[in-house]
Amino acid sequence: MATTAPLSIKTGELLQGARSEKRRVLLLVYHHDGVEMAPMSPGVGVVVGREAPADVVIRDRSISRRHARFTLVGGEVVVEDLGSRNGTRISGQRVESGVVKAGDEVLLGGIVASVHVLSGSEMPPFGLEGSDALRFALQAEIVRSRFFGRKFALVVVRSLGAQASHLRHWGLRVREALRPVDRVAFYSADTLEILLPEVTPELAEELAKAIVARREGEPVLVAGVAVSPDAATSIDKLIEVSHEASRSATPAEPVRLAPPEGALVYVTPKVDSTRPPDAAGPPGAPPESQWEANGHLLATKSPLMRSLVEVALRAARSSIPVLLRGETGTGKEVLARFIHDGSPRRGEPLICVNCGAIPALLVESTLFGHERGAFTGASQQHKGVFEAAAGGTVLLDEIGELPAAAQAALLRVLETKRVTRVGATKELEVDVRVIAATHRDLDAMCDAGTFRLDLLYRLNAMTLNIPPLRARRDDIATLAAGFLAQANSANISRVQSLAPEALALLKCYSWPGNVRELRNAIERAVVIAEGDAIMARDLPERIRLAVTSPSSPPTPSRAVDVSRSSEPGVAPALSQRASEPLPSRPSEPLPPRASEPGQAAAPAVGLKTRLEQIEAELLLEALRASDWNQTEAARRLELPLRTLQHKIKVYGIKKLGYGVAR
């Protein structure tokens, strides 16, 4: 198991070193969870190992407690194996000691180390973080984006080809090409994830093209770009679509943008794809039920979930509206596709609209269309979603995000089955089936006056509550196996199974991102796994640490600036990172509270801030325990209902998307 955190290196000291030294040498150690960096001083050894008192601690079973020592001697870096079990190799050759040149690959068990030499004017390559650290940053950026109405992007950069594909050949150059505000994370040996705050789609694409521009001696780089909220409004959906875009990129078209989530169209052939899943199959087939639509898997052993799908497929035969309730990532869109595929409308368009991804001023134009000249920029007539889906199905995802004016217009369409384009006076008949989906508590929104009760009555002719993944843990093994098969196909991987200890970790984790988070975890594990099975160390750090220490923050890997530390193995004090978000669930550990190279250390958290964090967590706990019933939560907390509602608004809990289906 490997744990990691950015090194605690004081920026001021490094800048002072840049003025006094003509040449600086850094040791970079790449492992499953990120990249560790240690500056080297003449005659001072840097020991890499699995446990303290090693100077760079990587909690990976493939290396020994004190695996190897790197020393800068006479302008050269010498590595000495310290009697490790799995040995030390330079460029593939096992050595007891040897000289490491810039660009050489040093293999320590299953991790890679390399030497990077900086000139006096060159800045250190700050900011290569772990994948989990970027996840926390994404969570904060989503909240900030919603509050200020600004866009940001997630870019996935990967190398193609077997020659020189490891990111040690190109990762540092990518970091140096970005803005100081951008954050770069280690995803795998050949892939980086980059968070670009405050960018338009055009700027994000421009930056991605600059990153992948061909350079002599580097492998071919390609990138996938997903802009939020255009392409996705949740963490795991953003990660999913950005990686899908990167996999579709080619040397001829090295940058691909994830399509906007505003209106995605699917057309299903007119075949019966909804027969009982166990009605046919080879003898001895597993008892679980599985359905698949457009590459999305729905598999279950849960009687509750199986009954839910069977009810959904029976509802598909009618044209009544259906309301899908469930947390983000539970599979609402997948279930909507099954309803459409099982209906007489299959073969006609299924248009999925994320109401939260459409700018407020364009909602009615998107849904109902507009005439030429209806508003500034309306240069030609445009058909809306309801017209385009004629004869088919419209999925209104995140229905709770619709503005009040659009709610009234939608209600009229449901009542009259007619639409009026913006700027028109003539009504048009439409024949569509409406499926709505939400992770919000629409009943509470109706009580608060932010959602129309009459619209809710129209939408919930049939309501299906999708349980979160943590409520159906028996499904985790089946889902993981299905995602493993899909990831193998996409990545041409040899990984065939999950090790028992890895599966045990998956079953114990709380999965705040639900099925989509599980899928992302399996896809990354397939990419970084070294054998034919996914091991525990291949899973994200948050999953491993949530099980081993569910009530305390993770203990990060650390690397010490041995040239300045007064005692061997003692790291400088750690400080909390600025803009650190609250965890999305109590069992999800806080991000590592380490200062980050290249960033000024944030001040220590004050008592008031800490008390606010505790209060927000108590509110969330009471709301979940009360099935998101605010009256019941207020009773549990012994608070007036108005006080609870005020605190929910102050802490932005609704904006973070915490909600349990009722």
For domain 128-257, is the CATH number 3.30.70.270? yes
Q: How far is the first Cα of the chain from the last one, in angstroms, to the nearest whole number?
A: 38
Residues β-bridged to residue 186: 130, 192
Q: Does domain 608-651 have CATH number 1.20.1250.20?
A: no
> Once rounded to an integer, what is the mean pLDDT over residues 496-520?
93
* Contacts for 176 with CB less than 8 Å, ≥ 6 apart: 123, 125
For 543-561, write each residue's pLDDT tens digit.
988 764 434 333 333 333 3
Does residue 647 surpass a pLDDT of 50?
A: yes
Where does CATH 1.10.10.60 sit in the chain? 608-651
pLDDT at residue 654, as a whole number: 58
Q: Which residue has the tokens 């040397």?
A: 251
Second-level CATH architecture of 23-119: Sandwich (2.60)
Asked if residue 662 has pLDDT above 70, the reply is no
Q: Which CATH architecture has domain 469-545?
A: Orthogonal Bundle (1.10)
Residue 290, pLDDT > 70, answer no
What's the CA gap between 267 and 274, in Å, rounded?
16
CB 362 within 8 A of CB 369: no
H or E stretch covering 245: helix 235-248
Residue 530 pLDDT: 82
Task: Kindly report which listed range (364-368, 375-379, 525-529) carries the lowest average pLDDT score.
Answer: 375-379
Class of domain 297-373+380-465: alpha beta
Residue 8 has pLDDT above 50, yes or no: no
* Residue 34: strand, helix, or coil: strand
| Ranges for all domains in the chain classified under CATH 3.40.50.300 | 297-373+380-465
All CATH 1.10.8.60 domain ranges of the chain, comma separated, are: 469-545
More confident: 48 or 10: 48
Residue ranges, CATH 3.30.70.270, the chain? 128-257
| Structure tokens belonging to residue 209 | 């093209």
Chain-centroid distance of CA 276 in Å reads 33
> Tell me, what amino acid is at 464?
L
Average pLDDT over residues 144-158: 88
pLDDT, tens digit (0-9, with 9 covering 90-100), for 440-451: 999 999 999 999
